[in-house]
Amino acid sequence: MNKTIWALMPLCAALTMGLGACSERLSLAPAGEGSKNAAADPVASEAEAPADLQVATLPETPAVDDASRLEYETMEERYMADTGAQWGVQATTGSSVGDNVAAQVVSDPERSPMNATGPANGNTWRNLHDAEGLDWLTVTYAQPVHATEVRVVLRGQVGPRAITRLDAIDETGQPHTLWAGDVGDPPEWRGDRTWFIRKFERTPFKVASVRVVFANKVVPGVKLVDAVQVVGRPG
């Protein structure tokens, strides 16, 4: 038996050296070869993914310098104090989705359109549906005017991208489209509110109300309107 053991020892030594060499070659393998093995395990692949790829789809809030914040504050103060502009005194809401809008408004005070009347003060109207159909907010003013500009004040940065149309309602109740299209405005990061502004030629008719239309499928989620301001003169 001793002769057998002594005869096997060179073979064991050779195997040991071979395994050591294999281990060394694996530890020095290029990163590309290692990633092929990791791809077979989804958990491992996700864990080993570079951090920049994992967060690539998440929105990032850019740094805002003091000069930009001051510029925003000055702009907002100018709009708030504009003597040629009016804030709404009455408001209604509607939807293309066939449910009971009145019941929603009663059951959820945040959806009351009256929240969007008066100046921007943080009290907001919330859209009726997050991801389906069209919702709209119609704001009426104390004095009809020949309008040249509409300013929709929203909380946050998401809501403006869902606005697809602005309508003017004249004194007879007839709607006229002031603007329609895709919003290409960059997100507003300088302050808590976004001022969605559209200017146009002086309307030949007097604008009694402004209707803001949201396409919920374009940008799903909550849209919060603080106020809607119309700029114009009665004569």
Q: Which CATH number fits domain 85-233: 2.60.120.260, 3.30.1330.30, 3.40.50.2300, 3.50.50.60?
A: 2.60.120.260
Q: Which band of pLDDT confidence, cut at 50, 70 and 90, is reported for residue 59?
A: low
Name the average pLDDT for the chain.
80
Who contacts 70 (Cβ-Cβ below 8 Å, separation ≥6)? none
Question: Residue 207: which of 172, 162, 165, 159 has the closest Cα?
Answer: 172
Amino acid at 35: S
Instruction: Check the CA dihedral 184-188-192-194 and report its sign.
Output: negative
Identify whether the C-beta of residue 196 lies closer than 8 Å to the C-beta of residue 183: yes
**Intervals of CATH 2.60.120.260 along the chain:** 85-233
CA–CA distance, 130 with 8 (Å, rounded to integer): 76
Give pLDDT, residue 61.
78
Residues 180, 76: Cα–Cα separation, whole Å: 24
Model confidence band, residue 209 (pLDDT cutoffs 50, 70, 90): very high
Q: Express as a percent the part of the chain with pLDDT over 90.
A: 60
Q: Write the pLDDT tens digit of every residue in 12-46.
A: 444 444 444 434 333 333 333 333 333 333 223 32
SS3 content of the chain, % helix, strand, coil (to 5): 35, 30, 35
Q: Does the pLDDT of residue 7 top 80, yes or no?
A: no
What stretch of H or E contains 168?
Answer: strand 163-170
Q: Which CA distances in Å does 62 have to 57, 126, 172, 173? A: 15, 26, 46, 43
Per-residue pLDDT reduced to its tens digit, 146-180: 999 999 999 988 789 899 999 999 999 999 999 99
